[in-house]
Amino acid sequence: MSSRDGSAAGAELIAHLGHELRAPLAIVVGYAELLQRRDDPELREEAPQRILEAAERLTAAIDDLLVVFAAETGALTFEPAQLSLDALVDESVDAVRARNGFRCAFHVERDEAGPVEVQADEEHLRAIVIHLLENAARRSPDESVVEVTLRRTPLFAEVVVADLGSPVDVEAAFEPARGSHSNRGAGGSGLELYALRCLVELHGGRVHAANNAAGAVFSATLPLAAP
Amino acid sequence: MTHVLVIDDDPSMRRVIRLALERDGAEVTEAEDGQQGLELARGGDFALVVLDWNMPGPAGPEVLDELRRGRPELPVLMLTAELTARDGGLALAFGADAFLAKPFSPAELARIVRSLVR
């Protein structure tokens, strides 16, 4: 990448950063001012939840921005260990379901050869799996069943998450400024797929997006643990 | 009653705008993306459009361009959430009548809407 390309990408990221922070902040400021000026029971009832959701978006945006900037400056570190992908997916499914109010369910299809072990940083792996699951939950209608497949390829472990959302622009899905519009307004930071890509690539894996008849499929590969 | 079309893909943002404008006596119709906004604008009797700059599908500038072709007299207030005012200036260059940077005061939003439909 030339320095011009790099500065253009940096400018795009900064513009995106502004959007991802200012958009939820607008909701916080808007509700706060409306509450201050108006004594309305309906407003009093709905405002706290909307403000909390906006605050969650801000927190998620800050977390993802920290990952992205650390990755781009070479400061993202990791401590690989042998981890059970199956166990981490099970734990993450429970966490994501609880967080999104059990709006959708996850069906996990496991590798027929048995539990999959990967060589990964535990914190980063948890973030990768949660980002994949939350992305699918946000994109899918209520009561959906998101299909999660765990499998081995000769060199990698793969997590494949098939949702029931609208088609995605597969070329731009993991880019910082384009891929995440569908997540906005539902708890997504807007940078989560780019942060996901940074975390996966740090491990030497790859991310992939595709469309199918039912929705979209997002997947990540991670290095298998040594047998 | 002033009928305002709000085009923004963020449901919470649309809700804040609705509350701000209804409190000010306006009627509000919401569109969740640019395509729906253009369809509603073609058939509706709106006095003004509040339009988000950054949306999936046809984004604010494309929607504005289409609106200008079909309804050149319709005032458009563009909302931007970028880090600098650059896009606000661009919004005016694209033909918006006014722009407001997020985060904004609902009272300020209502004031600008009133001044544009006067």
Residues of A in contact with B54 (CB under 8 A): 19
Please tell me which residue of chain B has the smallest CA distance to A11: B83
Spatial strand order in the sheet of A105-109: A105-109, A145-152, A156-162, A216-223, A207-211
* Spacing of C-alpha A1 from chain mean position: 26
Range list of H helices, chain A: 3-37, 41-72, 85-99, 122-139, 192-202
How would residue B1 be classed by pLDDT, with cut points 50, 70 and 90? Answer: confident
Query: Among A202, A50, A63, which residue's Cα sits nearest to residue A131?
Result: A63
What's the rounded mean pLDDT across residues B52-81?
88
Please tell me which residue of chain B has the smallest CA distance to A31: B16
* Bond before B103 cis per omega within 30 degrees: yes
Residues of B in contact with A50 (CB under 8 A): 12, 15
Please tell me which residue of chain B has the smallest CA distance to A50: B12
pLDDT one digit per residue (tens) for chain A, 227 residues: 444 455 666 666 776 777 788 889 999 999 999 999 878 888 999 999 999 989 988 988 888 888 988 988 888 888 999 999 999 999 999 989 887 777 889 999 999 999 999 999 999 999 999 999 999 998 999 899 999 999 999 889 999 999 999 898 888 899 875 444 544 444 455 688 999 999 999 999 999 999 999 999 999 999 999 87
Angle between helices A3-37 and A41-72 (to 10 degrees): 160
C-alpha to C-alpha distance for A107 and A147, rounded to whole angstroms: 5
Quick one: pLDDT at residue A19?
77
Residue bearing tokens 């595709």: A210
User: Could you tell me how many CB contacts below 8 A there are between chain A and chain B?
Assistant: 77
Residues of B in contact with A30 (CB under 8 A): 13, 16-17, 19-20, 103-104, 106
Q: Residue A130's CB: how many other CB atoms inside 10 A?
A: 20
SS3 B34: helix
Query: Among B109, B118, B98, B101, which residue's Cα sits nearest to residue A34?
Result: B109
DSSP secondary structure, A102-138, as one string: T-SEEEEEPPTT---EEEEEHHHHHHHHHHHHHHHHH
Query: Is A44's Cβ below 8 Å from some Cβ in B?
Result: no
Query: Nearest C-alpha of chain A: how many angstroms from B104?
Result: 6
Q: Is the pLDDT reported for residue B88 higher than 70?
A: no
Residue type, A128: I
Quick one: pLDDT at residue A185?
40
Residues of B in contact with A28 (CB under 8 A): 103
Query: Inter-chain contact A184–B105, Cβ cutoff 8 Å?
Result: no
